[in-house]
Amino acid sequence: MNDPKTTAPGKPLFQAVLIHRIVPIAVLLAGSVAFFALELDVYVSLEALKENRDTLRTFVSDNRLVAVLAFAAIYAIIIACSLPGGAIMTITGGFLFGAVGGGLVVVVGATVGATALFLITRAALDDVLQAKAWPFVSKLEDGFRKNALSYLIVLRLIPLFPFWLVNLVSALLGVSTATYVIGTFIGIIPGTFVYASVGNGLGALIDTGHDPDLGIIFRPEIFGPLVGLAVLAMLPVIYKKIQEKKKRSLSPTS
């Protein structure tokens, strides 16, 4: 059977590349530009939440399912387009849907958005991934793939690595979609519920004239356990390294 890539003329091949690679990236870039050009960033802020909290709560009370779906979709778009405001949106989720409900909605929306960005990035960088001009990628690829789930959970748990960077690294190192989704979903749960819990008590906090601490995740009593969870996630990798070292030491030398 003929390979369509070799038999098809240049124009159809170009159109396929345009559709599958350039267009998704262009859509994300256009969304980012429109976000700032239309000044939508003012709506993803603590001030906007304070001003509209009663209206938002009334809407959620009257249209809960629609509100949940709309919020998850908006969150997914923000993550997919790498837009700012993730922490505020997570706090808003806790404020509108409660610590547990808001946390769940955010985790789902963030995972969907991150997965979309991951798939688009991987498709756009397909030629780069196959190029032999990236030897350092080849060296890292095998080790990262073998322990991709543990590494991803750590990268998501520790709030020092931007979402876009984790997406890029995961795409460059050939992480499978299933591993990426599971690692992202599990890894963002702790931090998400911390901010959702802050949002759950936001009304009382605003009434007292105080603002939420957006840096709460870096408090020792919260950051410490996150690091502990990251260490636990790395235990399988450490165990594999120890076992491999033992096997090498026990194997007869040639």
For residue 19, the number of C-alpha atoms closer than 13 Å in the C-beta half-sphere is: 6
pLDDT of residue 232: 84
| Residue 10 belongs to a domain | no
Given a contact cutoff of 8 angstroms between Cβ atoms, the answer to whether 188 and 93 are in contact is no
**Quick one: which H or E segment has residue 204?**
helix 202-207
| Residue 7 belongs to a domain | no
pLDDT of residue 65: 95
pLDDT of residue 130: 54
Distance, C-alpha 152 to centroid of its chain = 10
Residues ≥6 apart with Cβ < 8 Å to 195? 87, 90, 91, 94, 106, 216, 217
| Residue 20 belongs to a domain | no
Per-residue confidence in pLDDT tens, the chain, 254 aa: 455 544 445 566 555 556 667 777 788 888 888 888 888 888 888 888 888 989 999 999 999 999 999 999 999 999 998 888 888 999 999 999 999 999 999 999 999 999 999 988 888 776 655 554 455 555 556 667 778 898 899 888 887 778 778 887 887 787 889 999 999 999 999 999 999 999 898 888 777 777 777 777 888 887 888 888 888 888 877 877 787 777 777 766 54
When divided into structural domains, the chain yields a total of 1
Given a contact cutoff of 8 angstroms between Cβ atoms, the answer to whether 176 and 191 are in contact is no
User: Which pair of structure tokens corresponds to residue 81?
Assistant: 């387009």
User: Which pair of structure tokens corresponds to residue 27?
Assistant: 């859509």
Distance, C-alpha 229 to centroid of its chain = 18
Q: For 190, phi and psi rounded to 5 degrees?
A: -60, -50
| Residue 149 belongs to a domain | yes
Integer Cα distance of 87 and 49 in angstroms = 13
Q: For 209, phi and psi rounded to 5 degrees?
A: 85, 20
| Residue 245 belongs to a domain | yes
Integer Cα distance of 188 and 198 in angstroms = 16
| Residue 230 belongs to a domain | yes
User: Which pair of structure tokens corresponds to residue 170?
Assistant: 């995961």
Question: How many other C-beta atoms can be found within 10 angstroms of the C-beta atom of residue 170?
Answer: 26
| Residue 219 belongs to a domain | yes
| Residue 6 belongs to a domain | no
pLDDT of residue 133: 47
pLDDT of residue 139: 57
Its domain, for residue 112, covers 39-250
